[in-house]
Structure 1
Amino acid sequence: MKLIVIEGIDGAGKTTLSNLLAERLVELGYDAIVTHEPFTDEIKMLLENVGWKDPLVLTFLFSADRAIHVNWLRDAGKGIIIMDRYYYSTMAYQAALGLDLKWLETVSSVFPKPDLVLLIDLPVEFALMRLSRKRDSLDFKEKRETLSKVRENYLSLARKYNMIILDGKRDLRELTEQALTHVLQTLSS
């Protein structure tokens, strides 16, 4: 099993790229699936009911969800798993809401390390335009100030964890091919 993670702020295009990347890999003969975090319907319901504002509660809910997700991945066992978000999202978002990054890294350290992390970097203004086209109103984590902090956190994490940074302003076809090149290099190493 190869674990490929796609990260980025809300509106960066993670889901779109994850799906296109999986399609391209299947076309090339690979066994590839896409998974998303949050993974379980139960955790999604809790998040909706509890709300998204308490970073400590969010960290534990996402970690519980991730533990279930990782067990499911182990059972799936083979092929290429493309994850639309992973523990880097928890680090970037919850640190933006005030939690200590070192502590978040400790919490995340129990989960399997991915083989490759692709960070779609997109300026906040572009992300907000995309989000406003999809939704009538933005939630608190999609506000300019929060997204700016999250983006800064992601860029810092990218340096620390050797993520590949992709330019989210690029043409979608070009972005997909660039991501595919990095995935194929990872698969051949």
Structure 2
Amino acid sequence: MLILQRMYCLVSHKSLRSLFIPNSRNNKVLNFKEIISMRTDSMPLLYHSLTTILDVLEKPENKNTDGVKELLDIYEKVKDENSKYKAAGEVKTHPLIVLEGLDGSGKTTVGNRFAKKIGAKKWKTPPESISHIRHLFDDNNNLRTAYYSLGNYIAALEVEMLLKNCPVVMDRFWHSTAAYAIAQSIQDKGDMYVLPAKGDKIYCWPEDLFKPDIVLLLNVSEEVRLQRQSRRTNVTTQEELLNSCSEFRKQVIEAYQNMYNPGVILINGDLSFGAVLGQLQKETSSLLKK
């Protein structure tokens, strides 16, 4: 049972049965790198490296899916731009500040005001460069997480080129992709998966992804969140689930709080707008003085 619980959202029901049926010849305990490379319905539900994302998107059965070729082309273009930037000897001199939280927590509004206040550039994931094809992936259960995951790497390449001139405030990054993917896997196959325990390597930041200097999690009550989200016109399937399923919300929030290297710093988003800005300034003051 302990082994099964540690496989929670990274292998398929079929894979679990073949690996762990008593007396099976293939019952070794896998290490973390082996686990994250495995597939659920032929797709990993969470990606811890760029290579695993590209491997999936470039599979014959996926590469002709609407949006995939354009997504990969945009990644290659941004990667080339970033390579030229690094070849010129440019280096980061300002911090990357990430704001995380549930849909409707106020990240965008607070982030815009905070960025203006500290003279930072505002960015987001998925970045604008791929936002126009987001609708092609949001309801695609197989490739949704691959799209958001590659979006993190594209945004990282873009942001890295901005940090020479000013700080960047990012609306979501890898922590959101991971928290939602983990919670979704439990929602989809709750009979097989449980929320990984705090300290599990699944919560650790990918080694090959540009790391933020600080991650701030806006934590709001459900009443406040729903009030804010009611102003939106476009709601994804996953956002609808967030509104209708308290257990899903709980799992997303707990997954956020379990993240490490870097972890998240909780910000009380129920306070007044000015008070929330004050908390953000307090938590980032040492970074902005450098």
One fold, TM greater than 0.5?
yes
Asked whether the equivalents of residues 132 and 138 of structure 1 are also in contact (C-alpha less than 8 Å), the reply is: no
Q: How far 1:174 moved relative to its partner?
A: 0.7
Q: Which has the higher strand share?
A: 1
Q: Which runs of 5+ in 2 are unaligned?
A: 1-93, 187-194
Asked whether the equivalents of residues 128 and 144 of structure 1 are also in contact (C-alpha less than 8 Å), the reply is: no
Answering whether residue 171 of structure 2 is matched by residue 88 of structure 1, we say no
Root mean square deviation, CA, Å: 2.6
Q: How far 1:181 moved relative to its partner?
A: 1.6
| Number of the residue aligned with 2:135 | 48
Q: How far 1:53 moved relative to its partner?
A: 5.5
CA–CA distance in 2 between the matches of 1:6 and 1:155? 13
| Number of the residue aligned with 1:150 | 252
1:74 paired residue among 124, 135, 160: 160
| Number of the residue aligned with 2:147 | 61
Q: How far 1:161 moved relative to its partner?
A: 3.9
The more displaced of 130-139 and 168-177 is: 130-139
Q: What amino acid sits opposite 1:77 in the alignment?
A: L
Q: What amino acid sits opposite 1:92 in the alignment?
A: A
TM-score scaled to structure 1, two decimals? 0.82
| Number of the residue aligned with 1:29 | none
Residues 16-58 of structure 1 show CA distances to partners (whole Å, capped at 9, x for unaligned) of 11111112113xxxxx10101110443x34431233452x522
TM-score scaled to structure 2, two decimals? 0.55
CA–CA distance in 2 between the matches of 1:52 and 1:137? 11
Answering whether residue 121 of structure 2 is matched by residue 33 of structure 1, we say yes
Asked whether the equivalents of residues 124 and 144 of structure 1 are also in contact (C-alpha less than 8 Å), the reply is: no
Asked whether the equivalents of residues 131 and 138 of structure 1 are also in contact (C-alpha less than 8 Å), the reply is: no
The more displaced of 14-23 and 118-127 is: 118-127
Q: What amino acid sits opposite 1:74 in the alignment?
A: E
1:128 paired residue among 218, 221, 226: 226
| Number of the residue aligned with 2:100 | 7
CA–CA distance in 2 between the matches of 1:136 and 1:87? 23
Identity level (%): 25
Q: What amino acid sits opposite 1:50 in the alignment?
A: F
Asked whether the equivalents of residues 11 and 127 of structure 1 are also in contact (C-alpha less than 8 Å), the reply is: yes
Answering whether residue 224 of structure 2 is matched by residue 115 of structure 1, we say no
Count of residue correspondences: 181
Residues 123-172 of structure 1 show CA distances to partners (whole Å, capped at 9, x for unaligned) of 233212221233386643332323332122223337x7442211110001
The more displaced of 1-10 and 92-101 is: 92-101
CA–CA distance in 2 between the matches of 1:150 and 1:122? 13
Q: How far 1:87 moved relative to its partner?
A: 0.3
| Number of the residue aligned with 2:283 | 182
Asked whether the equivalents of residues 13 and 120 of structure 1 are also in contact (C-alpha less than 8 Å), the reply is: yes
CA–CA distance in 2 between the matches of 1:137 and 1:98? 20
The more displaced of 74-83 and 86-95 is: 74-83
Q: How far 1:106 moved relative to its partner?
A: 6.5
Q: How far 1:77 moved relative to its partner?
A: 3.5
Asked whether the equivalents of residues 5 and 86 of structure 1 are also in contact (C-alpha less than 8 Å), the reply is: yes
